[in-house]
């Protein structure tokens, strides 16, 4: 069976009564469930076919086997899990129809998030230092891929906007723009494993992209993307923000893939959210 992260990460699997979110690690149990070739940077639960440059890295058969392992553990067919061609932008797509099997790995639109009100349809992002951020509101859920460019560009604002839009259509009696939409109705977020302020070294131009917030979240040449995400979410009315508190770069190297730590030669773990 594919292994989910340790207790702190797994604690964020249940966001609301009918929403679930999970964040995978690179670890899998020993034995016949091991799908990738032994040894090397992709020998565990790698879910990504390509690297940051878009070039194929791992054996497609191994990756597909890992994806089936994950889907089986979650109880979701892989064909009902949507994901975009991530471009470090701020596009968040709506998912209004159950995905067709033929499109599971073809014709993926550029985008860094999905929001849906459909039950049993997962929204997934692949990461190896960027933050996977799950959002949930009554009647809807969303998953976002948030690196520094996305956070500076407004991916969280776009994701919350799309989530509220989808949620309001799922429940026309609600008013997602009303004051107090948040703790009273359960708008929540979960920040999964990503590179922490302890390890994320950046230049002045990256800190400057966040203005005063970059100064607050920067120290000794490093930047705390999780702190930035928490503050942005709070400003957007997300009163409950859960953080699994795990850095992909300095945690046990056998736990997470890390683009920075592994100098770009590494696999991908995921964040996923769905309605039950």
Going from N- to C-terminal start, the domains of the chain cover 7-275
What pLDDT, in 10s, does the model give residues 77-125?
999 999 999 999 999 999 999 987 644 555 579 999 999 999 999 999 9
Residue 133 has pLDDT above 90, yes or no: yes
Give me the pLDDT at residue 41, please.
76
Exposed/middle/buried for residue 68 (C-beta within 10 Å: 0-12, 13-18, 19+)? middle
> Whole-angstrom Cα distance, residue 154 to residue 129?
18
Q: Under DSSP, is residue 248 helix (H, G, I), strand (E, B) or coil? A: coil
Rounded to a whole number of angstroms, the distance between the first and last alpha carbons of the chain is 21
- The b-or-e profile of 248-269 (16+ CB within 10 A means b, else e) is bbebeeebbbbbbbbeeebbbb
Handedness of CA 108, 258, 206, 22 (dihedral sign): positive
What mean pLDDT is predicted for residues 257-263? 94
Averaged pLDDT, 152-174? 89
What pLDDT was estimated at residue 173?
Answer: 55
Other beta carbons within 10 angstroms of residue 159's beta carbon come to 29
CA distance 145 to 111: 9
Where residue 12 falls among pLDDT bands split at 50, 70, 90? very low
- What token pair was written down for 67? 């994806």
Is a pLDDT exceeding 50 seen at residue 157? yes
Q: How far is Cα 135 from Cα 153, in angstroms, rounded to an integer? A: 18
Closest alpha carbon to 275 in 118, 72, 100, 113: 118
Give the span between the Cα atoms of 44 and 128, in whole angstroms: 14
45-73: average pLDDT = 85
Band of residue 42 on the pLDDT scale cut at 50, 70, 90 = confident
pTM: 0.87
Check: CATH 3.60.140.10 for 7-275?
yes
């Amino acid at each position: 069976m594919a292994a989910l992260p340790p207790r702190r990460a797994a604690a964020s699997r249940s966001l609301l009564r009918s929403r679930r979110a999970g964040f995978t690690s690179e670890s899998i149990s020993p034995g016949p469930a091991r799908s990738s070739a032994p040894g090397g940077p992709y020998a565990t639960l790698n879910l990504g076919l390509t690297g940051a440059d878009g070039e194929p890295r791992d054996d497609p058969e191994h990756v597909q086997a890992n994806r089936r392992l994950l889907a089986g553990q979650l109880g979701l067919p892989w064909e009902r899990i949507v994901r975009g061609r991530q471009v470090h932008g701020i596009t968040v797509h709506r998912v209004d129809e159950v995905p067709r099997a033929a499109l599971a790995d073809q014709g993926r639109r550029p985008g860094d998030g999905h929001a849906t009100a459909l039950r049993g349809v997962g929204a997934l992002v692949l990461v190896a230092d960027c933050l996977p951020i799950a959002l949930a509101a009554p009647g809807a859920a969303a998953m976002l891929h948030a690196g520094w460019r996305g956070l500076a560009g407004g991916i969280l604002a776009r994701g919350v906007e799309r989530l509220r839009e989808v949620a309001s259509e799922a429940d026309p009696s609600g008013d997602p723009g009303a004051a107090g939409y948040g703790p009273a109705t359960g708008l929540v977020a979960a920040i999964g494993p990503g590179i922490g302020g302890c390890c994320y070294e950046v230049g002045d131009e990256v800190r400057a992209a966040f203005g005063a917030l970059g100064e607050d979240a920067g120290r000794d040449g490093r930047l705390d993307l999780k702190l930035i995400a928490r503050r942005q979410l709070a400003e957007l009315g997300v009163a409950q923000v859960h953080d699994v508190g795990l850095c992909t770069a300095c945690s046990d190297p056998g736990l997470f893939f890390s683009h920075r730590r592994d100098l770009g030669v590494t696999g991908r773990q995921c964040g996923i959210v769905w309605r039950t």
